[in-house]
Structures are given as structure tokens and as C-alpha cells.
A = this chain, B = another copy of it.
């Protein structure tokens, strides 16, 4: 039978102790971190549960490890902070303590090394399903965090990357098309989301953005969060939205790029607002990531989609809600 100590040692080998501000890492009752002077800490926790957020059959172990840490880290990017440490609480079945665990840790360590994160601690236990919670800590100069609140009428609404790509990948899995090689590349964003840390830090450092959120739930829901935070509204130009490209065959099957972009979750792009006067100085790309202006904050408390023909449609929040499972973009949950 497996011992917790063996598991911890395997985790430890995969994530070397860097010493960077970390006085005590894995192996004591708790981790000890030394904050840098003048900095604030940004902390987030994120559940990642089998059959809610992923399926063990459709999502390879490497993907589970990568995605779990990447999506949690995205919340650090959404505050404009620099990612530093993470903690992993992990429950896994005995059957997963072999190759599955190795692949899982490999996927997770890829995110850690790519984005400069150090594993500082965690907790492991046996459990019939793979369940985990990631805690990620970042730091930022005092008073520079970009909150959801702060958008005022006249501000321009910007988004990084493309929207709807992750949802397209998920739809392909739901339709069991993911084993067809020609669609494999369309799963990339769903499998390996990229926390936009460099962009977030750039916006915070230059005090460019008045508000920010990551598109974890979907544009319609996330823009709603930003608007509600200061009691404002928004208009979005439908032809400006950087929507996912959908192959004609899948379009004919009912996968509409605009719908995916509006209501598809898990892109983990940054959605932010900037004062209009900054728009001319706004680079089209930051750290290689395209940034697109898609709309404007308004005084009215509604969110409106403006078509190229001038037609106005209200946008309702239709993105992910873990208590509204069965709504479009979510993994089927085991019901009790």
C-alpha cells in the first residue's frame, strides 16, 4: 500500500525548492514566506474537481495538472500581480498514484516553470475521485491591484487573445469528436489555457486599466461582473469581438463563433477597461498577446450588443455557474 510520504517525495522531486523568498517549503506543518517590502499579497483559491471541471477519460493527466494550476494562476493575472507561490491540496484514488500522478505533476510543473511559480506546500489524501484545490499567491506594489470595480462611463472595453476557443474545444469533446485527428489542434485552448500574467502586470505597472477580470465564466457573465461592480452598463460592437475561428463543418453543426465568444467560459483572457484618452497609446499587442477594443462603458445599466447593421440586442449573463450545471458550457455533474 502507498504511503503519504512516498507521494510527497515524488511531488517534491518534481517541484524543486527555489529558496526565492521561501524560507520553509514542503515538509513542515506550514510554509514560511518572506514578503518583499512595499508589496501586497494577492491570494486566490480554486477548486478543480473530477466530473465537474474535467473528466478523467477525456482529459489526460498532463492536461489536468496543467489546467488546474493555469486557471488558478489566471486570477493572479486578473489583479495585475506577479505570480510567486502555489499550494496543492490533492485527493486521488490509489489507482492514480502511478503513471497518472507522474503525468499530472509533469503538466503542473510545466506551468510552474513557465510562469515562475514555486510549490510552497499542500496536502495529499486518498479519495475515490481526483479532487483538488489550488491556492496561488502573487505580489504587487502597494495600491496597484486592478479590481473588478473602477470602470466609468466612457471607458473603452478591451480583451486579450481570442474568445470562445476553449468552449469550442469543450464542445468537440462533448460531441465525442476529439479523437479525430483533424480537430486535435482545436482542443489546445481548452486543454492548456495561458494565464495572461505579462499583460496583467504591464497594465498594473502603467496604471492603464480602470477595472479588470479574467474571462473564466464567459464574456457575457464577466462583463456583467465588471458593470455591476460600479453600477454601469456597456455596449459591445459585435464585429469587434475577437471570436474563435470555427471550421465550416462545425459551424454547420451549430457551433456559432459569436455565441461561443459571448457565452463560452474558460478562455482565461483578460477583460479590462481603459480611459478613452489612453486608447491611442494602447499597443495592439502586449508581450506578444493581441489586445482588442470591443466596446465602451455606458451610463445605462444594461449591456448591449451592437450589430454592424445597428441592431441592438441585450446581452444576458449566460456563462458558467457551478450551481447552474447543465447550462451549455459545463461538464455534466454527477447528480445526487
Chain A residues near B (Cβ < 8 Å): 1-7, 23-24, 27-35, 37, 39-47, 49, 52-53, 75-76, 78-79, 81, 85, 87-91, 93-95, 97, 120-128, 131-133, 135, 137-138, 140, 142, 145, 147-149, 212-214, 321-325, 333-336
Contacts and interface: CB of A to CB of B under 8 A. Distances in A.
A87 B135 contact: yes
A336 B94 contact: yes
Nearest to A88: B45
A31 B42 contact: yes
Given A135-B87, A148-B29, A322 B125 contact: yes
Given A322-B4, A323-B7, A323-B126, A79 B30 contact: yes
A121 B43 contact: yes
A294 to B, nearest CB: 20
A147 B28 contact: yes
A138 B24 CA distance: 14
Count of identical protomers in the assembly: 2
Contact of A131 (B2, B91, B213, B323): B91
A24 B91 CA distance: 30
A20 to B, nearest CB: 14
A98 B272 CA distance: 36
Contacts of A93: 336
B126 A322 contact: yes
Contacts of A333: 126-128
Given A24-B147, A32-B43, A97-B323, 19 more contacts: A1-B324, A4-B322, A24-B145, A28-B147, A30-B42, A30-B138, A31-B44, A35-B41, A45-B88, A45-B135, A47-B133, A49-B91, A49-B127, A95-B336, A124-B322, A126-B333, A127-B131, A128-B333, A131-B131
B76 A30 contact: yes
Contacts of A336: 93-95, 128
